[in-house]
Structure 1
Amino acid sequence: MNHRQLTFARELRGYSQTDLSSSIKGLSQSNLSKFEKGLSVLSEEVQKKIIDFLDFPISFFDRKITSSIENGNYRKRASVTKSDILKFENRCKILGYLIDEMSESIEWPDFNLSPLNVEEGYSPSYTANYNRKVLGLKKDEPINNICSLLEKHGIIIYEMNAYDKFDGISFFTDKGFTVIVVNKSFSNDRKRFTIAHELGHILLHNESNFPISSYRDEKTKEKEANEFASEFLMPANEIKNALRGITLSEVAKLKGYWLTSMASIIRRAKDLKCINDDRYTYFMIEMSRNGFNRKEPVEVPIDKPQCFKNGYLIFKNDLLFDDDDFVSSMSLPKDILNEIFYYDRIVNLKVLKN
């Protein structure tokens, strides 16, 4: 049994070392800890009990799931706990592992966007506009189908039923595929900004493309990714005139055109110095007074990610995989696969009795 895989399976199931050891006869927390560090061995009998308890295929423990989420980039709230991060990251690792495994049978789109080295003076705004050109967008054109547009250029986007403390994350699989995960439950304008924000991290902060100085801490990277996202979705030269002397009702109209939140448009007006700090504060007060800080008017559209879903459907419809085939091929439990491949799961409804 690969000790790292045991740790992964335990954490994915949500058990601490104490929880697992207390559930397995003949296993102490001390022995489990030493085994997970690679410092001791466990008997075959105890290993079998662990495998049965965690309900993983035995072949899973010979695999390696190591997608480098430690270099992932988040939009997250400050209240996120280590436990929440661990649960979220392990699900992302499963997603990355599946993308790599599926690449043995299908061809994911090639990544062909253009990272530019922020260390060499390419600003986030410049990189955003440069990649708008790569994507064939006109200067004054809003990004309508952001998911399909980016997926055609080699970014696999996935909507995850995540904790509400997470907006999204971007990372690279072991085989180098580029992934953006976005919270499925959030509003469309928030999803769109999150996707653009994570694209900023991919193009600005990937150390595989160029070294990133240590002074570029998380706060700096987040600020740069926000600048990228704002310029990518709302180019300054095209929106600036509309932001001068703007009213709250005009903000709502701009939301309908640029497909970004009212809050991000107001922030854009402040950053571009189209409104002063006092006017910005006024807008924020009015947004709160009208309840727009909880739910904004004007729902913007967003297209659904299709790349990973289409890959799953190829396995199911063309390669004729059933649930057992996925379990055997991917060495993962059926319940975890069903959670990731949620696309065609039927919701059971009950008939109400009079």
Structure 2
Amino acid sequence: MFNNSRLKVARQRAGLTMRELASRVGIEPRTVTGYEAGEYLPSDDVVRKFEQVLGFPQEFFIAEDLDIPRAEGVSFRSMSKMTARQRDRAIAAGAVAFLLSDWLESEFDLPEADLPDMREELPQTAAAGLRDYWRLGNKPIKNMVHLLELKGVRVFSLGEDGKEIDAYSLWRDARPYVFLNTQKSAERSRFDAAHELGHLVLHKHAAPNGLEAEKQANEFAAAFLMPEAPLRAVGRVSGLPKVVQLKQEWSVSVAAMAYRLHELGLLTKWNYQQIFVEISRRGWRTEEPSPIRREQSQIWQKVLSEVRRDERLGLARLSELLYLPGTELARLLFGLATVGVPSASQTVPTTPPRGHLRLVN
């Protein structure tokens, strides 16, 4: 039976409106509306055209219902910058990620979510409290993505064109998810990861929308990545070279470090303004001095390594099992799935034993 919800997800992942899809398939827009509403079923010929236009195999459209994120339960970094088309495309990515996540949990033993509910705490207090809870001390965090995965968060990339969608997060039952846009600098992506972590612990039982929620998540991220005590131990800062040194030590953007120092009273208002003028003049609002390496998922690095070694299950076979085009795997898995994809002509696997992935931070 044709699954109307899957048509909507595939259309949104392709970034098309119903009218645009109708034009490319050669049918009336009202017909597409009827298909997506489940009012009637497309012919086999139309389904083949959907495959050609949207890039999803025909089997995708006749599989079981998808679990699709609810828009009101999703925390977007910047609602004002994105269009409805971009928002829908990003949310549809969540539905595809759920398919991957469910397969992952069926094959591997992974950490359970270990994120406390901190909705009663102030953002900076929550950041310090979570560092204590996870026994991180006041040292720089080596890798935010690895840390989130170690604590049971499923982290996926958003391989979207453009930077309007910074990142988003949500809870799916007891499992937290974070989606990061890889079009931004590695330093800003780390801040996005900490920002979404703030939403997950501060706004678990509420719709995390609005300027106040975003402000709280920003405050949490700054305090979590740049804890107060070690920065106060540095003392007053006056020049850009010291800000750059600290930004390198804590793996954040030079702008974020300048703002944090000013927030803590370690950088005067005048120095802060002069430093920001210089940051802009040097083009460091978009390109960082001494940039760090982009963080990637260690879970999917390990899983894809196992998949490639397993003669019964190659990446192409995984794509077939989930009825997903390879481009969708690449977009969600930090581009890791584009490397060394084996031939699809492999033996259909029997169910392999569950594996255990050792995660480190």
TM-score, normalization: structure 1? 0.83
Contiguous gaps of at least 5 residues in structure 1: 348-354
Query: Counterpart of 1:62?
Result: 63
User: Which secondary structure does the structure 1 equivalent of 2:65 belong to?
Assistant: coil
Query: Counterpart of 1:246?
Result: 238
User: How far apart are the structure 1 equivalents of 2:284 and 2:25?
Assistant: 51
Instruction: Check whether the contact 2:185–2:288 (CA below 8 A) recurs between aligned residues.
Output: no
User: How far apart are the structure 2 equivalents of 1:277 and 1:327?
Assistant: 54
Q: Does 1:274 align with 2:274?
A: no
Query: Counterpart of 2:91?
Result: 89
Alignment of 1:138-157 (within 5 A): 138-139=137-138, 141-157=139-155
Q: Does 1:220 align with 2:205?
A: no
Contiguous gaps of at least 5 residues in structure 2: 341-361
Deviation per CA, 1:200-242, whole angstroms, max 9, x where unpaired? 11111112xxxx3x8x751011110111111111112321353
Count of residue correspondences: 334
User: How far apart are the structure 2 equivalents of 1:328 and 1:346?
Assistant: 17
User: Which secondary structure does the structure 2 equivalent of 1:321 belong to?
Assistant: coil
Deviation per CA, 1:56-95, whole angstroms, max 9, x where unpaired? 2325433222342522222237432111222233223212
Distance 1:30 1:324, change over 3 A: same
User: How far apart are the structure 2 equivalents of 1:314 and 1:206?
Assistant: 34
Deviation per CA, 1:245-289, whole angstroms, max 9, x where unpaired? 432221112112222222112211222233444443222122223
Q: Compute the displacement of 1:45 (Å).
A: 4.2
Q: Compute the displacement of 1:102 (Å).
A: 2.5
Instruction: Check whether the contact 2:78–2:164 (CA below 8 A) recurs between aligned residues.
Output: yes
Distance 1:59 1:190, change over 3 A: closer
Query: Counterpart of 2:357?
Result: none
Q: Determine which of 179, 188, 202 is the counterpart of 1:204.
A: 202
Instruction: Check whether the contact 1:14–1:87 (CA below 8 A) recurs between aligned residues.
Output: yes
User: How far apart are the structure 1 equivalents of 2:296 and 2:330?
Assistant: 19
User: How far apart are the structure 1 equivalents of 2:281 and 2:51?
Assistant: 55
Instruction: Check whether the contact 1:156–1:308 (CA below 8 A) recurs between aligned residues.
Output: no
Q: Determine which of 287, 299, 308 is the counterpart of 1:307.
A: 299
Instruction: Check whether the contact 1:60–1:332 (CA below 8 A) recurs between aligned residues.
Output: no
One-letter amino acid of the structure 2 residue matched with residue 31 of structure 1: T
Query: Counterpart of 1:130?
Result: 129
Deviation per CA, 1:128-165, whole angstroms, max 9, x where unpaired? 111111222223x1112332222211122233333222
Which stretch shifts more, 222-231 or 93-102?
A: 93-102
Distance 1:324 1:150, change over 3 A: closer
Instruction: Check whether the contact 2:259–2:272 (CA below 8 A) recurs between aligned residues.
Output: yes
Instruction: Check whether the contact 2:77–2:168 (CA below 8 A) recurs between aligned residues.
Output: yes
User: Which secondary structure does the structure 2 equivalent of 1:180 belong to?
Assistant: strand
Runs of 4+ in 1 over 6 A off after TM superposition: none
Which stretch shifts more, 104-113 or 222-231?
A: 104-113
One-letter amino acid of the structure 1 residue matched with residue 153 of structure 2: I
Deviation per CA, 1:298-323, whole angstroms, max 9, x where unpaired? 32356432113323333443473135
User: Which secondary structure does the structure 2 equivalent of 1:104 belong to?
Assistant: helix
Query: Counterpart of 1:350?
Result: none
Query: Counterpart of 1:291?
Result: 283
User: Which secondary structure does the structure 2 equivalent of 1:158 belong to?
Assistant: strand
Which stretch shifts more, 314-323 or 63-72?
A: 314-323
User: Which secondary structure does the structure 2 equivalent of 1:154 belong to?
Assistant: coil
Q: Does 1:104 align with 2:106?
A: yes
Query: Counterpart of 1:35?
Result: 35
User: How far apart are the structure 2 equivalents of 1:148 and 1:43?
Assistant: 44
Instruction: Check whether the contact 2:167–2:181 (CA below 8 A) recurs between aligned residues.
Output: yes
Query: Counterpart of 1:161?
Result: 159
Query: Counterpart of 1:15?
Result: 16
User: How far apart are the structure 2 equivalents of 1:5 and 1:177?
Assistant: 22
Distance 1:318 1:130, change over 3 A: farther
User: How far apart are the structure 2 equivalents of 1:103 and 1:299?
Assistant: 34
User: Which secondary structure does the structure 2 equivalent of 1:103 belong to?
Assistant: helix
Distance 1:76 1:34, change over 3 A: same
Q: Determine which of 113, 116, 120 is the counterpart of 2:118.
A: 116
Query: Counterpart of 2:179?
Result: 181
